[in-house]
Amino acid sequence: MKENVDHRVPVLIVGGSLVGLCTSLFLGRHGIRHMLVEKHAGTSVHPRGRGINVRTMELFRVAGVEGRIREAASVLADNHGILQGGSLTGEDQEWLFEEIDPGGALGRFSPSAWCLCSQNDIEPVLMSVTPTLGADLRFSTELLSFDTDDTGVTAVVKNRDTGEHSTVRADYLVAADGPRSPVREQLGIGQTGHGDLFHNVSITFRSRGLAEVVGDRRFIVCYLTKPGADGALLPVDNQERWVFHAPWHPDRGETLEDFTDERCVEHIRRAVGAPDLDVEITGKAPWHAAERVAERYGTGRVFLAGDSAHEMSPTGAFGSNTGIQDAHNLAWKLAAVLNGAAGHRLLQSYEAERLPVARATSERASARSAEHSHPGYEPEPAPGPRGGGRPGGVLTVAMGYRYTVGAVLGSDPEQPVVPERMRLSGDPGTRAPHMWLHGTGGRQSTVDLYERSFVLLSSEGTPWRAAARSVASRMGLGLDAYAIGTSPEADLAPEEGADWAEVHGTTKTGAVLVRPDGFVAWRTPEAVVDPEAVLHEVLSLLLYRS
């Protein structure tokens, strides 16, 4: 299988949409050379997938692209709430919520904030960055076939412009090839979940008069519920470009051809409540809301990420964010294995950690669609919440989830994946807490410390920092260690009145080990007799080197 190979790369990514490009970004930040193939000629042109949650924005922050993404999203920077009403001109509108972050409460949990950036705006940003990080991006290039063996993957790809076939040999393949994933199909991986939930046609249109009707109501989305004219209205620029999601019922024999321009114009006018509204249809794209999760996250050296691994209802914007966080989890593990820092078995933790998160999140997404009465969604009555209890709120689902098993030590496997309340206090398996620190580089969040290596946090005057440096040298791996305190020997100082140990659930003599993805890998609340030996054992277990 290794003969007549045209290209050799450590990782081949199949799919160049949002999750595929994020996989490229995160691998590139770890210095891992890779190729990405995408059958389409370019990135998305249709406004969709707009909600970027706080946790995902943290990942973009650490990867150095947060500012550019916010710049691309600036036109919708003041849009915050979700509005619902029979129409936009009646008296029955109500805010499901008016502010994403009322009172700035998110600042307690994160240095970042929510962002509204359409997929067609964010993908060009990613495409402009990843080639500088070692990515070989090949659009108009389709995966035709692949074979796996004990040492890698051999794939045949086709340039759709020239018809040329070429063979790619990779150590690993990441399939971000969408909900109908050919890679998942070839692997024979089934799916669980409720299946199709509802169908919509996304209609892009221009209207100068609509801005006057909307007025100063700066919503993210407005659910319009008038019978026979229901749908979801989304602003693109708050001025003249808009999107309307109209319910589509193929189960009743309705076809896409039934959505003529004339029908769409009339539907939008009735939904808005303005019979003479100027409407120019500029595009239509069908989409399907579903709840499906792959039974496995891959086989051997092939891994699934994003929609190939899970489909979710769009309400709450959980789907793309979960996919991006899949990519982030997998990227550091691939890098650790490819760089020789970890054993191959570390990659098994990808499924162990991410699959339960996808199941819990997909259920929450479906529940939120029912709560918001999403147009076109008619859920079956249920006697009670699925999964034995009501999941947490949106923020808790987005960043408060935990890995109960996987590359963590000391996590409680009996705890729910998504707790009822947000609790980020340094527990193993949870995202490490945010707090502000000061050092030679100025003010920074603890979140900013985590990307390319494990990080050990401890207090000044303890032996942990020296032990970490010795272990890193002995094991030949990246391990940053920071002593926190107010004396000159400290690397970082907390803001006045803050106690880093209390925030992280330990004491002044203890230590916290954080993974490259910002999740707590291990914690000790007290001093130990031989910190170097303990750290060596902990890292050997976490990296599957023993």
Task: List, as one string, the DSSP characters of 331-371.
Answer: HHHHHHHHTTSS-GGGGHHHHHHHHHHHHHHHHHHHHHHHH
CA distance 434 to 141: 41
Q: pLDDT tens digits, residue range 468-492?
A: 999 999 999 999 999 999 999 999 9
pLDDT(106) > 90 = no
The domain that holds 14 is classified in CATH as 3.50.50.60
Mean pLDDT of the chain: 92
Residue 15 and residue 163 in one domain:
yes
- φ and ψ of 213, to 5 deg: -70, -45
3-state SS class at 127: helix
Q: pLDDT tens digits, residue range 121-142?
A: 999 999 999 999 999 999 999 9
Token couple for 420: 């009822």
Residue 181 and residue 55 in one domain:
yes
In this prediction, residue 388 carries a pLDDT of: 33
pLDDT(372) > 60 = no
Cβ contacts of 238 within 8 Å, gap of 6 or more = 75, 76, 79, 211, 214, 218
pLDDT(11) > 50 = yes
Residue 45 and residue 72 in one domain:
yes
In this prediction, residue 132 carries a pLDDT of: 95
Token couple for 324: 């991006």
Q: What is the dihedral of CA 529, 530, 531, 533, to 10 degrees?
A: -150
CA distance 267 to 270: 5
Residue 56 and residue 158 in one domain:
yes
Q: How many domains does the chain have?
A: 3
Residue 167 and residue 198 in one domain:
no
Cβ contacts of 443 within 8 Å, gap of 6 or more = 436, 437
Whole-angstrom CA distances from 51 to 221, 254, 258, 432 are: 11, 29, 30, 23
Residue 210 and residue 256 in one domain:
yes
- φ and ψ of 372, to 5 deg: -90, 0
Q: pLDDT tens digits, residue range 202-219?
A: 999 999 999 999 999 999
pLDDT level of residue 314 (50, 70, 90 thresholds): confident
Instruction: Tell me the percentage of the chain whose pLDDT exceeds 70.
Output: 95
CA distance 471 to 343: 17
What are the percentages of helix, strand and coil residues in the chain, rounded to 5? 30, 30, 40
In this prediction, residue 393 carries a pLDDT of: 81
pLDDT(427) > 50 = yes
In this prediction, residue 373 carries a pLDDT of: 57
pLDDT level of residue 381 (50, 70, 90 thresholds): very low
CA distance 446 to 454: 13
The sheet with strand 454-459 has its strands ordered as 479-484, 454-459, 511-514, 520-524
Residue 199 and residue 124 in one domain:
no
Q: Are 141 and 159 in contact (CB under 8 A)?
A: yes
Q: Is there a domain that residue 225 lies in?
A: yes
Please give the residue range of the domain that contains residue 267: 193-290
In this prediction, residue 506 carries a pLDDT of: 98
In this prediction, residue 366 carries a pLDDT of: 82
Q: Are 140 and 39 in contact (CB under 8 A)?
A: yes
3-state SS class at 112: coil
In this prediction, residue 481 carries a pLDDT of: 98
How many residues comprise the chain?
Answer: 546
3-state SS class at 302: strand
Q: Is there a domain that residue 396 lies in?
A: no
Instruction: Tell me the percentage of the chain whose pLDDT exceeds 90.
Output: 81
Angle at alpha carbon of residue 396, lines to 395 and 399, rounded to 5°:
80
In this prediction, residue 365 carries a pLDDT of: 85
pLDDT(384) > 50 = no
Mean pLDDT over residues 71-75, rounded? 93
From 259, 290, 321, give the residue that closes a domain.
290
Residue 40 and residue 121 in one domain:
yes
pLDDT level of residue 83 (50, 70, 90 thresholds): very high
pLDDT level of residue 392 (50, 70, 90 thresholds): low
CA distance 86 to 84: 7
From 290, 305, 330, give the residue that closes a domain.
290
CA atoms within 13 A on the CB side of 207: 27
Residue 255 and residue 336 in one domain:
no
Mean pLDDT over residues 291-298, rounded? 97
pTM: 0.93
pLDDT level of residue 383 (50, 70, 90 thresholds): very low
pLDDT greater at residue 405 or residue 382:
405
From 371, 387, 417, give the residue that closes a domain.
371
- For residue 5, give the nearest of 32, 25, 49, 35 by alpha carbon: 35
Residue 260 and residue 330 in one domain:
no
- For residue 431, give the nearest of 528, 481, 357, 334 by alpha carbon: 357
- For residue 468, give the nearest of 535, 416, 373 by alpha carbon: 535
Q: Which neighbouring-strand residues pair with 456?
A: 481, 513
Mean pLDDT over residues 224-228, rounded? 91
CA distance 270 to 261: 14
- φ and ψ of 386, to 5 deg: -70, 155
Can you state the angle between helices 348-371 and 318-338, rounded to 10 degrees? Answer: 170
Q: Is there a domain that residue 95 lies in?
A: no
Q: Are 311 and 335 in contact (CB under 8 A)?
A: no
The domain that holds 472 is classified in CATH as 3.40.30.120
- For residue 117, give the nearest of 53, 34, 180, 210 by alpha carbon: 53
- Backbone torsion region of residue 223, taken as left when φ is above 0, otherwise alpha when ψ lies between -120 and 50, otherwise beta: beta
Q: Is there a domain that residue 57 lies in?
A: yes
CA distance 89 to 209: 13
Residue 62 and residue 157 in one domain:
yes
Q: Is there a domain that residue 217 lies in?
A: yes
What is the greatest pairwise CA distance in the chain? 79
In this prediction, residue 377 carries a pLDDT of: 61
Residue 73 and residue 163 in one domain:
yes
Q: Is there a domain that residue 424 lies in?
A: no
Q: Is there a domain that residue 426 lies in?
A: no
What DSSP line would sit under 198-256, residue for residue?
EEEEEEEEE-SHHHHHHTT--EEEEEE--TTS-EEEEESSSSSEEEEEEEE-GGGT--G
Q: Are 522 and 514 in contact (CB under 8 A)?
A: no
Angle at alpha carbon of residue 340, lines to 336 and 343, rounded to 5°:
75
pLDDT(35) > 90 = yes
Q: Is there a domain that residue 1 lies in?
A: no
The domain that holds 282 is classified in CATH as 3.30.9.10
